Amino acid sequence: MKIMQKFTTHTGLVAPLDRANVDTDQIIPKQFLKTIKRTGLREGLFFDWRKQKDGSPDPSFFLNQARYHDATILLTRDNFGCGSSREHAPWALLDQGFRCIIASSFADIFYNNCFQNGILPVVLQADEVKTLMQEVLKTPDYRLTVDLAQQIVTAPDGTHYRFTIDPFRKDCLYRGLDSIGLTLQHESVIADYEARRMAEAPWLFTDLHA
């Protein structure tokens, strides 16, 4: 079976994106969606915010600040990843080096897409995110440890932030399981379903290409 990138425990530098409702058009603008590859999307990550109109880096944007260059954990606010289903968004974040995104909530499709790419999306309470955001902004080299098995984010001062996660997704990410491989193990169950459904609702299986 194909093995995906695992996520067990990760300690990394945190970068703050102090904004709610960051949509996937912002994470990776349209001009970067013409690729037929999953890699090399780093250049497009937050492009419109990262680059000024003349193409030079905008020094006020967090990713252009030296202190966040090596960040692997992104801290942000509500409804991160809303809008388009483009998986180019997690691909670009991964290409930049992000392995974990902590937010007070995520949009549905983006949240799913993270798991497919070895990125752990962590949901914390809004007040917890607020506290962490303040710490990150005022503390150089602020690092968090994310322990997937224990479902705990640990701050430098030892504070624990617990998070919940769907047990199946957790297991897949922890062990790097390929969900297509898992589903293909149930091939006969799928074939049984198709046979049953074909009897109940044959019009669904008309060969439309014929």
> Which chain residues interact with other proteins by CB under 8 A?
2, 19-21, 23, 25-26, 29-31, 33-38, 48, 53, 77-79, 82-87, 90, 105, 107-109, 112-113, 116-117, 166-169, 178-180, 182-184, 186, 189-190, 193-194, 197, 201-209
Cα–Cα distance measured from residue 66 to residue 15, given in angstroms and rounded to the nearest whole number: 11
- The smaller minimum CB distance to other proteins, of residues 13 and 91, is found at 91
Shortest gap between Cβ of 94 and other proteins (angstroms)? 12
**Which DSSP category does 205 fall into?**
G
Tokens of residue 109, six digits:
């499709």
Spacing of C-alpha 153 from chain mean position: 16
Angle at 166 between CA 161 and CA 171, to 5 degrees: 100
CB of 11 to other proteins, least distance (A): 27
User: Which amino acid, 76?
Assistant: T
CB closer to other proteins out of 26 and 96:
26
In the complex, what is the shortest distance from the CB of residue 157 to other proteins, in angstroms, rounded to a whole number?
A: 25
Question: Which element (helix H / strand E) includes 12?
Answer: strand 9-17
User: Nearest distance from residue 170's CB to other proteins, in Å?
Assistant: 10
Nearest residue (CB) to other proteins, 77 versus 99: 77
Tokens of 60: 């006020």
Between the alpha carbon of residue 177 and those of residues 173, 174, 183, the distances in Å are 7, 8, 11
Min dist CB 118 to other proteins, Å, is: 11
Task: Select 33 or 63, whichever has its Cβ closest to other proteins.
Answer: 33
Closest CA to 120 of 170, 65, 54: 170
Tokens 């705990």: give the residue: 152
> Residue 107 Cβ, how far from other proteins at the closest point, in Å?
6
- Mutual angle of helices 167-175 and 108-115, in 10-degree steps: 40
**64: which 2 tokens?**
């252009």
